[in-house]
């Protein structure tokens, strides 16, 4: 695997040390390790281990500097054939994220700090996977940056136990004075003021106390260091306190310390100094904030104290001094935990697992919001997508509230998202809210089968690198992989597969599917059995009308009555299907056809129960509407009545069927309303009856 890590610079620090340690071990394991930074003292060490380093000014925080670095990083990614990019800081994360968008390279981040909730910090949560060194940081990224739990990976920092040699605290105490150290950069967040005040209290009980302050401040913060030095003199600690500045040999420092204090007042992601001290056998007193809580088990592997509390720090330090046996016990327990969880081998193994998941897993979103019949028509496309994208791919389907039942048990999708664009999610604000939810899923591919303005907007808001659909002049420019929608004369399934063809998926199997349960089928069976059906009696289902929007698709009521009369004379039972709006029509038909035992199922079934009912029918009759697609999915022969629409563009695929359509000058007109609706009115009951009889004879 070719792995690129990017960080601001390579001077002394926990982030830098972790980057170098990981890169060195990756090389030893046979991977190509590339690091991009602005340079620093550790570059020679890095290159000496066989790691490739590119020096670029990726630490500059100006927008111009960030945008300038993006094409340079793109060049590095392509030149080194990088498989994954790992960003370890905020400015590099902006650069890396934008470069990965251009190269379609998987992008991961490690959150090394408790970032302020600010737009500048956002890309740290945009990784395909987000590595957090502690539970506190993981919770922060979930709560404050909206990163889904499934994208969070907990990978603690590590320590090289070969480099930090263990020495029992009891052995050190026999040899010299009591040395207490605080290790880390000098900043108010690290609590040096509270540490120094605590040491003033300890010095009253331990005359042989030595205080080591390891670390330094940036040139711009010298005033703060001077403030600490003044405090040391004022508290009478000047004779026993040393400001050692930045130290390269931390293992050597720890060999001379009896206690390490972490006095941070705010959340540390994962203070490496704690595990380094524990690996060296040095007891640790730490404030109970941030990642320290993950590392130290109070009283067992160290001591936890409240933040900004010098008295508690002093009390804990005196406990370590006064009880050498206790100090040795917690040091041994801490070493056991370090070896179990925090070794470099654990870090490399866990990080490689993150890389593997990021490069081998992909998220695909299909958008098809409506209507019910079109959702059923999309089942062939969903099946083809699953056959193409098997292991490692997670398929999510975004569907409208009114059609969700169709896909509740679809075996080809991993996740069903529902949008109620007619009620709950109505309006532009709600649309952007859905887009935010989609963006958090971090999809790699979006396939827009809806192809309208809302779906194109949602496709864009999902912010997937690859977005496929039709360019139909309805915000189609928001898709970056699109084909013209020239309204070709092809069936609806083939029309969808024109989009899939861009992904190399051909139409091999156009069959539609539905997945009703045994209970749903039992409901339909019981409905029919309650109507005294003979065992060999033929059943014809008739869909009364079409969508309320499409009055032109409805077959005249008098023709429907005539068909039912003729079917009844032939001993054929009739099942009427429809929605709540068709109940009145069904009751009218029942009154008009008193001598015929109609089975009225209007508004009495769910879509899956209707599917079971239609499957029991020998033939089904319907205008161009969703029940026709249900019949196709259930392999029920049907008679399709077409008027204002063109069957060449809307007929669902099925083996046994008959289409009846009148070739009028005005048809197909695609008008939902018409004064005379001749196209449907001229379809006679007799020709529908003949078509039914022909299909019954098959």
Instruction: Of 81-95, 291-305, 483-497, give the lowest mean pLDDT range.
Output: 483-497
Question: From CA 461, how far away is CA 479, in angstroms rounded?
Answer: 11
Measured from the Cβ of residue 672, the count of other Cβ atoms closer than 10 Å reads 14
Instruction: Of 134-138, 261-265, 269-273, 398-402, give the lowest mean pLDDT range.
Output: 269-273
Question: From CA 217, how far away is CA 23, in angstroms rounded?
Answer: 27
pTM of structure: 0.84
CB 545 within 8 A of CB 623: yes
Average pLDDT over residues 264-278: 91
Check residue 222 and give its pLDDT: 87
Check residue 549 and give its pLDDT: 83
pLDDT band at residue 369 under the 50/70/90 scheme: very high
Helix (H) or strand (E) holding 336: helix 324-341
pLDDT digits (tens, 9 = 90+) for 272-296: 899 999 999 999 999 999 889 999 9
* 9-23, 219-233, 273-287, 470-484: which is most confident: 273-287
Question: From CA 547, how far away is CA 560, in angstroms rounded?
Answer: 17
Check residue 175 and give its pLDDT: 58
Retrieve residue 356's tokens.
Answer: 């593997």
Retrieve residue 440's tokens.
Answer: 């958090």
Check residue 627 and give its pLDDT: 94
Question: From CA 279, how far away is CA 159, in angstroms rounded?
Answer: 7
**DSSP per-residue string spanning 345-374:** HHHHHHHHHHHHHHHH-EEEEEE----HHH
Q: What is the distance of C-alpha 267 from the center of its chain?
A: 26
Q: In this model, does residue 174 exceed pLDDT 70?
A: no
Q: In this model, does residue 240 exceed pLDDT 80?
A: yes
Question: From CA 180, how far away is CA 199, in angstroms rounded?
Answer: 9
Structural domains of the chain sorted by starting position, each given as residue range(s) with its CATH number in brackets: 2-154 (3.40.50.2000), 169-342 (3.40.50.2000), 363-503 (3.40.50.2000), 518-696 (3.40.50.2000)
Q: Distances from the Cα of 53 to the Cαs of 11, 40, 46, 606, in angstroms?
A: 14, 11, 8, 62
In this structure, the dihedral spanned by the alpha carbons of residues 645, 651, 657 and 661, taken in order and rounded to 10 degrees, is 10
pLDDT digits (tens, 9 = 90+) for 456-503: 999 999 999 999 999 988 899 999 999 998 777 889 999 999 999 999
pLDDT band at residue 642 under the 50/70/90 scheme: very high
pLDDT > 90: percent of the chain: 82
Check residue 101 and give its pLDDT: 94
The burial class, CB within 10 Å (0-12 / 13-18 / 19+), for 11 is middle
pLDDT band at residue 201 under the 50/70/90 scheme: very high
Q: In this model, does residue 172 exceed pLDDT 80?
A: no
Check residue 472 and give its pLDDT: 84
pLDDT digits (tens, 9 = 90+) for 372-395: 999 999 999 999 999 999 888 999
Check residue 309 and give its pLDDT: 96
Check residue 221 and give its pLDDT: 79
Q: In this model, does residue 105 exceed pLDDT 90?
A: yes
Check residue 682 and give its pLDDT: 93
Q: In this model, does residue 14 exceed pLDDT 90?
A: no
Question: From CA 172, how far away is CA 281, in angstroms rounded?
Answer: 10
Q: In this model, does residue 317 exceed pLDDT 90?
A: yes
Average pLDDT over residues 49-66: 95
Instruction: Of 71-80, 484-493, 657-666, give the lowest mean pLDDT range.
Output: 484-493
Which candidate, 641, 628, 646, places its Cα nearest to that of 689? Answer: 641
Question: From CA 471, how far away is CA 456, in angstroms rounded?
Answer: 10
- Give residue for tokens 């008008």: 671
Tally of CA atoms within 13 A in the half-sphere of 141 that contains its CB: 32
Question: From CA 600, how far away is CA 587, in angstroms rounded?
Answer: 8
pLDDT band at residue 550 under the 50/70/90 scheme: confident
pLDDT digits (tens, 9 = 90+) for 110-121: 999 889 888 899
**Mean pLDDT across the chain:** 93
Q: In this model, does residue 138 exceed pLDDT 70?
A: yes
Q: Distances from the Cα of 312 to the Cαs of 155, 202, 296, 307, 309, in angstroms?
A: 30, 11, 16, 9, 6
Q: In this model, does residue 422 exceed pLDDT 80?
A: yes
Which candidate, 604, 608, 603, 579, places its Cα nearest to that of 408? Answer: 608
More confident residue, 665 or 50: 50
């Amino acid at each position: 695997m070719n792995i690129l890590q990017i960080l601001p610079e390579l001077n002394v620090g926990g982030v830098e040390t972790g980057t170098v340690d990981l890169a060195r071990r990756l090389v030893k394991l046979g991977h190509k390790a590339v690091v991009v930074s602005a340079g620093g003292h550790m570059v020679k060490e890095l290159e000496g281990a066989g790691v490739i380093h590119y020096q670029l000014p990726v630490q500059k925080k100006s927008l111009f500097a960030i945008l300038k670095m993006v094409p340079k990083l793109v060049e590095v990614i392509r030149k080194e054939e990088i498989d994954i990019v790992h960003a370890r800081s905020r400015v590099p994360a902006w650069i890396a994220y934008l470069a990965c968008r251009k190269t379609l390279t998987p992008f991961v981040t490690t959150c090394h700090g408790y970032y302020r909730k600010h737009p500048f910090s956002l890309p740290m949560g945009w990784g395909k996977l987000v590595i957090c060194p502690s539970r506190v940081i993981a919770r922060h990224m979930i709560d404050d940056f909206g990163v889904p739990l499934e994208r969070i990976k907990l990978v603690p920092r590590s320590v090289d136990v070969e480099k930090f040699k263990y020495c029992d605290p009891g052995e050190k105490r026999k040899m010299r004075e009591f040395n207490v150290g605080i290790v880390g950069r000098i900043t108010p967040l690290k609590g040096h003021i509270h540490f120094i005040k605590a040491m003033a209290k300890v010095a009253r009980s331990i005359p042989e106390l030595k205080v080591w302050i390891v670390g330094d401040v940036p040139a711009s913060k010298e005033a703060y260091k001077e403030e600490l030095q003044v405090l040391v003199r004022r508290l009478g600690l000047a004779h026993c306190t040393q400001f050692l500045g930045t130290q390269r040999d931390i293992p050597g420092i720890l060999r001379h310390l009896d206690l390490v204090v972490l006095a941070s007042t705010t959340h540390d992601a994962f203070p490496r100094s704690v595990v380094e001290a524990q690996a060296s056998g040095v007891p640790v007193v730490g404030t109970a904030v941030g990642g320290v809580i993950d590392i130290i088990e109070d009283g067992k592997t160290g001591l936890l104290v409240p933040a900004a509390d010098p008295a508690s720090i002093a009390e804990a330090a005196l406990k370590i001094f006064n009880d050498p046996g206790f100090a040795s016990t917690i040091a041994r327990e801490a070493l056991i935990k370090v070896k179990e969880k925090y070794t470099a081998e654990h870090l490399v193994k866990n990080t490689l697992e993150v890389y593997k998941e990021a490069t081998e897993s992909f998220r695909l979103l299909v958008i098809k919001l409506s209507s019910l019949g079109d959702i059923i028509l999309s089942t062939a496309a969903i099946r083809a997508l699953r056959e193409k994208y098997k292991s490692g791919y997670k398929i999510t389907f975004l569907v409208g509230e009114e059609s969700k039942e169709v896909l509740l048990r679809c075996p080809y999708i991993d996740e069903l998202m529902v949008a109620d664009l007619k009620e709950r999610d109505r309006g532009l604000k709600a649309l952007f809210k859905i887009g935010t939810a989609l963006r958090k899923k971090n999809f790699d591919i979006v396939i827009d089968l809806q192809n309208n303005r809302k779906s194109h907007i949602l496709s864009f808001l999902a912010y997937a690198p690859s977005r496929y659909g039709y360019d139909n002049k309805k915000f189609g420019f928001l898709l970056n992989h699109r084909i013209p929608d020239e309204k070709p004369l092809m069936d609806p399934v083939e029309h969808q597969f024109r989009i899939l063809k861009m992904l190399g998926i051909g139409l091999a199997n156009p069959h539609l599917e539905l997945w009703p349960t045994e209970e749903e089928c039992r409901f339909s069976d019981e409905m029919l059995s309650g109507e005294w059906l003979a065992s060999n009696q033929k059943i014809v289902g008739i869909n009364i009308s079409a969508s309320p929007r499409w009055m032109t698709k409805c077959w005249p009521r008098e023709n429907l009555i005539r068909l039912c009369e003729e079917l009844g004379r032939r001993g054929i039972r009739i099942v009427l299907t429809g929605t709540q709006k068709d109940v009145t029509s069904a009751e009218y038909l029942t009154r008009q056809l008193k001598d015929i035992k109609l089975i009225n199922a209007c508004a009495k079934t769910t879509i899956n129960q209707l599917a079971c009912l239609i499957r029991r029918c020998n033939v089904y009759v319907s205008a161009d509407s969703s029940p026709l697609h249900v019949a196709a999915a259930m392999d029920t022969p049907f008679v399709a009545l077409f008027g204002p629409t063109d069957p060449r563009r809307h007929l669902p695929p099925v083996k046994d069927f008959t289409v009846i359509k009148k070739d009028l000058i005005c048809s197909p007109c695609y008008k939902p309303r018409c004064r005379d609706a001749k196209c449907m009115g001229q379809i006679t009951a007799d020709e529908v009856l003949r078509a039914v009889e022909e299909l019954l004879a098959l």
